[in-house]
Amino acid sequence: MSTPPRRRAPTVISVDSVNPDLVPGGAGESVVADLCGRWLTARGFEVHRLERRPRRPSLVAIARGTGGGRSLMLNGHLDTVGLAGYDGDPLAPRVHDGRMYGRGAFDMKGGTAAMMVAAARATAHGFLRGDVILACVADEEHGSTGTEEVLKSFTADAAIVTEPSQLQVTLAHKGFAWFEVEIEGRAAHGSRPELGVDAIAKAGHFLVPLEDLGRRLARGPAHPLLGTGTVHASVIRGGEEPSTYPARCRITLERRTVPGESADGVERELTALLDQLASTVPDFRYRLTRGLDREPFQADPGAPIVCTLTRHAERALGHPPVVRAEPFWTDCALLDRAGIPCLLFGVDGAGAHAADEYADLGSLDRLTDILTGTIAEFCS
């Protein structure tokens, strides 16, 4: 009688966890959260499952210290972007030339796995005084509702977000603010220009100074790590048919912000621009609506968690780590706003949101070692 083939144990990469807020019908985080929860429970962690949004769970796993030490939270997200367009099978992880390929290997299941293994190693003998807290969160790729939910019930003396950073110490990142500008026209038959107001043509009056605003931002004061803020039009919608003057044109825009800038300031900036057009362009009417916004982030380079991790990174790498910033947004800003000093540090690799994604396995080993040493020292 033949022996049935041995089934491979699922890995975090082989489990579909596409964010359904990005891709309708996406699997969400339930199954990968189950996998991580079993792994952590088997290693003695106290596991809490938070699921304010059905089928969108985050896990908080705690190794309690003996008392009197500093607590440390390690944060990593479980969701990924979509699978369509990936070159090959995105859920069949493969190793080639020292790289692990698959959707989420780089962004950021590699970092989440590293922080889990590091925490298990550092707490295996129960000698630490401070609590070690793992936040395996949902929805970072869209609205970060997972980290927001975690921070309603849990805190720590410091945190590390293990987003990919090429083993470079990341101490700042940009924020963003989304706005929709609706330019109002007047619908009329295309043969009756005296009755119609072309909302699309009026929108052109806005797009020109918006581009100029981008140029002025680029010439303005720069953050030492991030440079300047930016603005661009992302989506434009307007019109119904060729023979009708469009009654409205909607423009969605994104303003990337640096420390010192805020969504409130951006709203004032855009309102001033639009009010100027309303006072000078005939029949120019608008409505400005603010959408999602997230603050920029800047860490204190002298914070104890930054100094501790930097010291262990230098020991593992054989040289001082590069200090850098990221142009994209991360959950660091939410942790910082909650009063938790933090930084970002993660694996090397490439292909975030791309057709070919991988994490460098050597860097994954070094990341795990650096996190293990940092946990052991910070929480001792």
Residue 10 lies in a domain: no
Same-domain check for residues 161 and 210: no
Q: Going by C-beta distance under 8 Å and a sequence separation of 6 or more, which residues neighbour residue 287?
A: 181, 182, 184
The CA radius of gyration of the chain, in Å to the nearest whole number, is 24
Residue 329 lies in a domain: yes
Same-domain check for residues 124 and 146: yes
Same-domain check for residues 217 and 305: no
Residue 331 has pLDDT above 60, yes or no: yes
Same-domain check for residues 324 and 216: no
Instruction: Answer yes or no: are the C-beta atoms of 306 and 324 closer than 8 Å.
Output: no
Residue 48: predicted pLDDT:
98
The residue among 251, 273, 294 that closes a domain is 294
Q: What is the 3-state secondary structure (H, E, C) of 138-192?
A: CCCCCCCHHHHHHHHHCCCCEEEECCCCCCCEEEEECEEEEEEEEEECECEECCC
> Quick one: what percent of the chain has pLDDT higher than 70?
97
Residue 9: predicted pLDDT:
54
Same-domain check for residues 124 and 151: yes
The residue among 277, 294, 311 that closes a domain is 294
> Quick one: what percent of the chain has pLDDT higher than 90?
97
pLDDT tens digits, one per residue of 14-54 = 999 999 999 999 999 999 999 999 999 999 999 999 999 99
Q: What is the pTM of this model?
A: 0.91
Same-domain check for residues 96 and 214: no
The residue among 259, 277, 294 that closes a domain is 294
Residue 6 has pLDDT above 80, yes or no: no
Residue 7: predicted pLDDT:
45
Residue 19 lies in a domain: no
Cα end-to-end span (Å), the chain: 56
- Rounded to the nearest integer, the mean pLDDT of the chain is 96
pLDDT tens digits, one per residue of 290-310 = 999 999 999 999 999 999 999
Domain of 352, CATH number, reads 3.40.630.10
Residue 289 has pLDDT above 70, yes or no: yes
Residue 113: predicted pLDDT:
98
Residue 3: predicted pLDDT:
45
Residue 1 lies in a domain: no
pLDDT tens digits, one per residue of 114-126 = 999 999 999 999 9
Same-domain check for residues 99 and 56: yes
CA 286 to chain centre: 31
pLDDT tens digits, one per residue of 308-318 = 999 999 999 99
- Cis status, amide bond into 108, omega within 30 of 0: yes
Same-domain check for residues 43 and 156: yes
Q: What are phi and psi of 261, to 5 degrees?
A: -105, 155
Instruction: Answer yes or no: are the C-beta atoms of 239 and 265 closer than 8 Å.
Output: no
Residue 68 has pLDDT above 60, yes or no: yes
Same-domain check for residues 79 and 201: no
Domain hosting 145: range is 30-172+297-378
Q: What is the number of structural domains in the chain?
A: 2
